[in-house]
Amino acid sequence: MRIALGQLAASSRKEENLEAARRAVRDARSGGADLLLLPEVFMAFLTPQSGIPPAAVAEPLDGPFVSALAQDARAHGLYIGCGVWESVPGERTRAHNTAVLLGPDGSLLLSYRKTHLYDAFGFRESDLTVPGDRAPRAVRTALGTVGLLVCYELRFPELSRMLALDGAEVILLPSAWIAGPLKEEHWTTLIAARAIENTVFIAAADQAGDRRIGCSRLVDPMGVALSSGGEAAGLIFGTVDLARIDQVREKLPSLHQRREEIYAQTGAFTAR
């Protein structure tokens, strides 16, 4: 499986971002990719300072933005993962921060609404976003079994573990990781940790541009970076060999060594 990580800078203008996404689709296919992963909320990069509420740009998943990407997926025979703003009935300000995976026939294979919001480091994503209330799940594709998480959720190991236990071989992580002291170190460390502890591949596409770190990465089940980007916008290509998962799990069978009877004890997952 050849993956293209679209490390691109979204603006607040949806039409401009759609054109950038469609160019990335063409470039990814020209580069031999089977799957293109675009960043979190690539539909429009909005902050509380933008003056544009997410509800103003949000669409249903059968709206023009996702439909245009589905058309391109079908035209180019490409899997496409992308972060979008999904409209919420009755909401005038906020929207769901949703990741979608489209198949090469243009079908919507998987959608996931971000459940853990970035209310940290002085930012309040909950002012912009309605959190999802459903657990992530994996979907089988012709390329392998794939799951979706979104950005800040990298900090919650329970979510990646849920996907691994659901059979995910590759976790796609569209992101808009905000820059700040030690944030690059957190990003690279957490991606490697989630890959190692679940013995899966993680493909993380981060936004480039102001206040975002870039540094998109494809990491294997031993935490080895197969490809990585710097700060500049562009596509980063890498290849996933799913046989690597069995090779790693043969010598590192940690998933099979879990003791669920211990984890189920009262208070095991309650923060003190």
**Residue 48 — very low, low, confident or very high, per pLDDT cuts 50/70/90?**
confident
Range of the domain at 20: 2-263
Task: Count up the domains in the chain and report the number.
Answer: 1
Q: Decide if 251 is catalytic.
A: no
pLDDT exceeds cutoff 70 at 71: yes
Q: Which of 40, 86, 153, 169 is catalytic?
A: 40
With respect to residue 233, please indicate whether it lies within any of the assigned structural domains.
Answer: yes
State the pTM of this model. Answer: 0.96
- 3-state SS of the chain is CEEEEEECCCCCCHHHHHHHHHHHHHHHHHCCCCEEECCCCCCCCCCCCCCCCHHHHCECCCCHHHHHHHHHHHHHCCEEEEEEEECCCCCCCCEEEEEEEECCCCCEEEEEECCCCCEECCEEHHHCECCCCCCCCEEECCCCEEEECCHHHHHCHHHHHHHHHCCCCEEEEEECCECCCCHHHHHHHHHHHHHHHHCCEEEEEECCCCCECCCCEEECCCCCEEEECCCCCEEEEEECCCHHHHHHHHHCCHHHHCCHHHHCCCCCCCCC
Q: Decide if 40 is catalytic.
A: yes
Give 131-179 pLDDT, tens digit per residue.
999 999 999 999 999 999 999 999 999 999 999 999 999 999 999 999 9
Give 213-240 pLDDT, tens digit per residue.
999 999 999 999 999 999 999 999 999 9
Q: What is the CATH number of the domain that holds 233?
A: 3.60.110.10
With respect to residue 272, please indicate whether it lies within any of the assigned structural domains.
Answer: no
With respect to residue 271, please indicate whether it lies within any of the assigned structural domains.
Answer: no
pLDDT exceeds cutoff 70 at 268: no
Q: Which of 82, 86, 125, 151 is catalytic?
A: 151
Q: Decide if 14 is catalytic.
A: no
Q: Which of 14, 114, 125, 215 is catalytic?
A: 114
With respect to residue 201, please indicate whether it lies within any of the assigned structural domains.
Answer: yes
**Residue 49 — very low, low, confident or very high, per pLDDT cuts 50/70/90?**
confident
